[in-house]
Structure 1
Amino acid sequence: MPNILLVEDDPNLGQLVQEYLTMKGYATDRATDGNQGLQRFMASNYDLCIFDVMMPKKDGFTLAKEVRMANRDVPIIFLTAKSMQEDTIQGFKVGADDYITKPFSMEELLLRIQAILRRYQRSTDLGEPTVYKIGSFSFDYPHQLLSRAENGSSANDAESQPQKLTSKESELLKLLAQNLNQPVSRSFALKMVWGDDSYFNARSMDVYVTKLRKYLKEDPSVQLVNVHGEGFKLIV
Structure 2
Amino acid sequence: MPARAPTLLLVDDDPKLREVVGYALTREGYLVHEARDGAEALARLAAASFDLLVVDVSMPELDGFELVRRLRAEDTETPVLFLSARSDEIDRILGLELGGDDYVTKPFSTRELVTRVKVLLRRALREPTRTAGAASEDQPDADAETLHVGGLRLAPEQHRAWWVEAEVALTATEFRLLEVLMTRPGRVFSRAELGEQAYPDARHVSGRTLDSHVRRIRAKFREHGVDPVETVHGVGYRLREPLEP
TM-score, normalization by structure 2 = 0.81
Q: Is 1:82 paired with 2:97?
A: no
What is the CA distance between 1:71 and its match in structure 2? 5.0
* Higher helix proportion: 1
The one of 163, 179, 185 aligned to 1:180: 185
Q: Say if 2:170 and 2:217, in contact at 8 Å, map to a contact too.
A: no
What is the CA distance between 1:136 and its match in structure 2? 2.0
Q: How many residues align?
A: 218
CA RMSD of aligned residues (A): 2.2
Give the corresponding residue for 1:130.
145
| 1:135-154 correspondence to structure 2 within 5 Å | 135-149=150-164
What is the CA distance between 1:87 and its match in structure 2? 1.1
Unpaired runs of 5+ residues, structure 2, are: 129-143
TM-score, normalization by structure 1 = 0.83
- Give the match's secondary structure for 2:189: strand
Structure 2 counterpart of 1:207, one-letter code: S
Residues 126-147 of structure 1 show CA distances to partners (whole Å, capped at 9, x for unaligned) of: xxx8311112222223333332
Give me the whole-angstrom Cα distance separating, in 1, the residues matched to 2:153 and 2:198.
21
Give me the whole-angstrom Cα distance separating, in 2, the residues matched to 1:20 and 1:148.
42
Distance 1:213 1:39, change over 3 A: closer
Residues 73-101 of structure 1 show CA distances to partners (whole Å, capped at 9, x for unaligned) of: 21100000010112111111111010100
Distance 1:182 1:147, change over 3 A: same
Structure 2 counterpart of 1:85, one-letter code: E
Distance 1:211 1:55, change over 3 A: closer
Give me the whole-angstrom Cα distance separating, in 1, the residues matched to 2:230 and 2:55.
34
Unpaired runs of 5+ residues, structure 1, are: 150-159
Q: Is 1:218 paired with 2:225?
A: yes
Q: Say if 1:144 and 1:164, in contact at 8 Å, map to a contact too.
A: no
Q: Say if 2:97 and 2:216, in contact at 8 Å, map to a contact too.
A: no
Give me the whole-angstrom Cα distance separating, in 2, the residues matched to 1:223 and 1:30.
38
What is the CA distance between 1:123 and its match in structure 2? 5.5
Give the corresponding residue for 2:112.
108
Give the corresponding residue for 2:136.
none
Runs (4+) off by over 6 Å: none
Give me the whole-angstrom Cα distance separating, in 2, the residues matched to 1:176 and 1:78.
27
Distance 1:58 1:232, change over 3 A: same
| 1:1-236 correspondence to structure 2 within 5 Å | 1-70=5-74, 72-122=76-126, 130-149=145-164, 161-194=166-199, 195-198=202-205, 201-214=206-219, 215=221, 218=225, 224-236=229-241
